[in-house]
Copies of this chain bind each other. A is one copy, B any other.
Amino acid sequence: MKIIVNPLQEAFPELLQRPVMDHAALQNVVQGVLDAVRTGGDKAVASYTKQFDGVTLDNAIVTEAEITEAALALSPVLKEAIQLAAKNIRCFHEAQVNAPVAIETMPGVRCWRKSVGIDKVGLYIPGGSAPLFSTVLMLGIPAVIAGCKEIILCTPPSKDGSVHPAILYAASVVGITRIYKIGGVQAIAAMAYGTETMPQVYKIFGPGNQYVTAAKQLVQQNGVAIDMPAGPSEVCVLADETCNPDFVASDLLSQAEHGPDSQVLLVSTSSKVVDEINEALTAQLGILPRKDIAEQALKNSKAIVVDSMEQAIFIVNSYAAEHLIIACKNDETIGEQITNAGSVFLGNYSPESVGDYASGTNHT
């Protein structure tokens, strides 16, 4: 990590800059796949699955037998963990259901807001180096609570034509039964336009690589809604002298290991603590299974040391992290002063990972 001490405010914009992804360069390639699936349907999808996932599938739809097998293949410990996470997510999200409240703004003028679940939604779960079964829970459980009538899940198949059992098990815990072994741009196209075997959906949710993100942005221009475009994942840790340097190092690594483009930022009021975190990083990195990925991400990462907590909070608000961990004595008071952040984790015992998986809050 590059350590920066007391930077000038003029330097903040450059210091806190994110890598900008240029989707424009991908647009032609992505638009080609979208158009081909729109006109070619299932046949075009199958051909892209062969080309990009390296597998020929007779049937892209996951069968009931495959879902049953997945439950058998998975360890009881993991199944219990998935069930516990699902229970917490359900509990937290059910509390967000609001009954409409009618306001009489003038005599006889009664107005209310009512949330109605979207009839047909499509969830995209990326493949890649780790099965994102937690994202199945994070996207699926709110859709079920909202009352979406049709929930489609797309995820790329492995080279042997299978889907990771944890993804299938998580889907079955949520109650999703329409699962397609389709990944990438062809999955977004199939959900946006429909095929012979896939119903067209009204809104597409879920993370994905640059191609998937570009595809979502393009289909959005054709009347299909999407969630917010996903960029590389990022964490910011705000740590004072009361933090546990080993914990902070683990927090930074938990995000750095996501991918070489992950963003990791440490902001601290103590040079001593930053040095200790750096030492802990080196020690932990040595035994990390995904060491190579984390090392690359850390190369672009920064630790900023400032004199006051006020300045530290200003920097944190300027950066507007997707995930912010406040490893400080006055974590709740500091939390009140955070205006720009996605998820905020308060105190030494609230790592980002708890929110990524099982606290009940949503990571999407």
Contacts and interface: CB of A to CB of B under 8 A. Distances in A.
Interface in A315-354: 317, 320, 338-340, 354
For the complex of A and B, 10 pairs with smallest distance between CB atoms:
A105-B360, A88-B105, A111-B361, A95-B103, A91-B105, A92-B103, A116-B339, A111-B360, A109-B359, A92-B105
Interface stretch (A122-130, A216-224, A295-303): A216-224
Contacts of A24: 221
Contact of A91 (B18, B103, B317, B338): B103
Interface residues of A, number: 36
Contact of A119 (B23, B88, B119, B339): B339
A88 B109 contact: yes
Contacts of A320: 202
A11 interface: no
A300 to B, nearest CB: 17
Contacts of A99: none
A65 interface: no
B96 A113 contact: yes
Prevailing SS type, chain A contact patch: loop
A185 to B, nearest CB: 17
B101 A95 contact: yes
10 contacts: A91-B105, A92-B105, A98-B98, A103-B360, A111-B360, A113-B361, A116-B340, A119-B339, A202-B320, A221-B229
A20 B113 CA distance: 29
Given A88-B106, A111-B359, A119-B317, 15 more contacts: A23-B221, A88-B105, A91-B105, A92-B103, A92-B111, A96-B113, A109-B354, A109-B360, A111-B360, A111-B361, A116-B339, A116-B340, A117-B339, A119-B339, A220-B229
Interface of A: 18, 20, 23-24, 88, 91-92, 95-96, 98, 101, 103, 105-106, 109, 111, 113, 116-117, 119, 202, 217, 220-223, 229, 317, 320, 338-340, 354, 359-361
B105 A20 contact: no
A363 to B, nearest CB: 12
A354 B338 CA distance: 38
A105 B359 contact: yes
Nearest to A21: B221
Contacts of A88: 105-106, 109
